[in-house]
Amino acid sequence: MKQFKAGHWIKQKDYKSFQPELINRQWLIDDMEVQKLLSQADRQIGRLDMFSEHAPNVDMFISMHVLKEATQSSKIEGTQTNIEDALLSREDVDIEKRDDWEEVNNYILAMTHAIESLENVPFSTRLIKQTHETLLQGVRGKHKLPGEFRRSQNWIGGATLNDATFVPPVSSSISELMGDLENFVHSDAHYLPDLLKVAIMHYQFETIHPFLDGNGRVGRLLITLYLVEKGILKQPVLYLSDFFERYRDLYYDNLMRVRIHDDIKQWFKFFLTGVIETAKKGVDTFDRILLLKARIENEVNEKSKRSGQIMKVLDSLYKKPLINAQTIGDLVNVSMVTAYKIVEEMEQRGILKEITGEKRGKIYLFIEYIRLFKGK
């Protein structure tokens, strides 16, 4: 790491762009501080993977992890949609919030499609472009070449290139740089621990900034894709956007520190700390969910005459913890009168909470479950 060189600055007409070094080469990690954090991160991510593998009905909970990731990753880019808003149908979202809602839901689609595509398409430039196209489909960035690498110069921070915080490499070098990144991900010639490999991959992608829009969201999404494709995680349950959002300034500062000071060590430390903290929180969330599930089910089975119907509703709520009476009626195949009685009982038991305040078309939230994902 002492010999690490991130790249060099190239003088353009009125600004300097950054040209990163290729990363598909031999790496020597000789820092004990990084090695210690790597060991802890491997241990924590192993616990999370084991927990998710043995947790019953884990698919129920993955959709909520993806939803939280979508809201937090988009929040870093300035999108203001919380988990509750993201769960709503488009027509139930306030008009002024719909653009943000659409971006978050595109992120969910992009992540879901990318995970599914890994069965047939390897982690590759092709997959990255497909994911980007889904992310920008029909939203504010729809005119910024969805699914295509940029053909012009972009920049980060500032109003123009002249006062930008960072100017990525020129567009003519993107194909070579992204080809190198893809080769780095799949190369067995140069051994590097996977968590350090994904840290470098994320840094390099954000430095290349290959798209006109959506680079941050795609770059964070790639972390989970890599971990799933390499079999480090059997289920897509580790998402770092919450950590990056809480320490947003440090996240950007550490990325820039690599470019300016060649300090890859500090980036490794920050990234691995994020993996450790996020994996621990993931295990804790799974544990709390199972405890909540057991407590509610025991209470309902012991005290409710509608236990079978309520259990059916609960199964749906673990995937999407927002519901209305009509949906309950359809799920349980009962009349609206009975559906409202089920809602009333679930409200009385503290399972559901009405969030719209409307006389008609009321929407209810599985409130305790939501709080687990919001860390409350």
Q: In this predicted structure, what is the pLDDT of residue 60?
A: 67
Write the class of the CATH domain 305-373: mainly alpha
pTM exceeds 0.95, yes or no: no
pLDDT tens, 60-117? 668 888 888 888 888 888 777 888 888 888 888 888 888 888 888 888 899 999 999 9
Euclidean distance between the first and the last CA atom of the chain, given in angstroms as a whole number = 40
Q: In this predicted structure, what is the pLDDT of residue 292?
A: 92
- For CATH 1.10.3290.10, the residue range(s) in the chain are 7-284
pLDDT at 133 over 70: yes
Average pLDDT (6-20) is 95
> What pairing do the DSSP bridges indicate for beta strands 352-354 and 16-20?
unpaired
pLDDT at 47 over 90: yes
d(CA 41, CA 39): 5
Average pLDDT (194-221) is 96
Q: What is the CATH number of domain 7-284?
A: 1.10.3290.10
Give the position of tokens 């053909």.
Answer: 151
DSSP one-letter code for 156: B
Strand, helix or coil for residue 20 = strand
pLDDT at 237 over 60: yes
- For CATH 1.10.10.10, the residue range(s) in the chain are 305-373
